[in-house]
Amino acid sequence: MNFFYVSTLLLSLLTFSAQAAEIYIADSEHTFVSFSYKHLGYSIQTSRFDRVNGIITLNNQMDEGTVDIAIETGSVSTGSDTFNKLLKSKDYFDSEKFPVAKFTSNKITFNNQDITSLSGELTIKDITKPINIEVSNFACSRNFITFKYTCGANASAKLSRTEFDLGKYVPFVGDEITLSIVIEASKE
């Protein structure tokens, strides 16, 4: 092999490893999505999904990456068995037919090494819409309990229930939903 070929190969391998993505897996004990909405004008109700899985990739410079989140719709938790059944029914999430809602993003906005927002697509009941998620907190460091490098974030977004065929009782029950996302993910 000639010197030029070997040096070009080494340079490309070094560039690839410097740009290599690091994979983070969501910690199911510290990751969930909650949602809130106006209820009959009386209050703002909040419920959550107890089972959320996710994979996040970030490059070594933490200036680009991807996010793939799966939310088990059957894990909706309102504090009421009756209301949980209603939200899992065909009138709302139709959890038997559509057991998973998904969020995917390959457009992460960084400010230095802090994530400030994500743009991607949210799919609920096989309906996919663009969504922007604002990140209010983002931090990474070595977890002193697990010794794994861990990143965590808090984020939120607004969406319309009717756009995802979840609009029963609108306008009496508010159409606008606020999603709140709490996630901690460890590097594999």
Distances (CA, A) of 40 to 36, 48, 168, 174: 13, 19, 12, 8
In a domain, 41, yes or no: yes
Per residue in 158-168, pLDDT tens? 999 999 999 99
Look at 3 and 81; give whichever has higher pLDDT: 81
Residue 43 lies in a domain: yes
Residue 138 lies in a domain: yes
Domain total in the chain: 1
- Domain of 140, in residue numbers: 21-187
Residue 6: inside a domain: no
pLDDT in tens, 45-99: 999 999 999 999 998 787 889 999 999 999 999 999 999 999 999 999 999 999 9
Residue at token pair 């391998």: 13
Look at residue 162 and tell me if it is in a domain: yes
Residue percentage of the chain with pLDDT more than 70: 90
Q: Which residues pair with 21 in a beta bridge?
A: 59
Q: Is residue 7 part of a domain?
A: no
CATH code for position 42: 2.40.128.110
Tell me the CA distances in angstroms from 3 to 6, 9, 12, 13, 60, one per residue in order.
5, 10, 14, 15, 29
**Does any domain span residue 2?**
no
Q: What is the pTM of this model?
A: 0.84
Q: What angle do CA 137, 139, 140 make, to 5 degrees?
A: 160
Q: Tell me if 105 is assigned to some domain.
A: yes
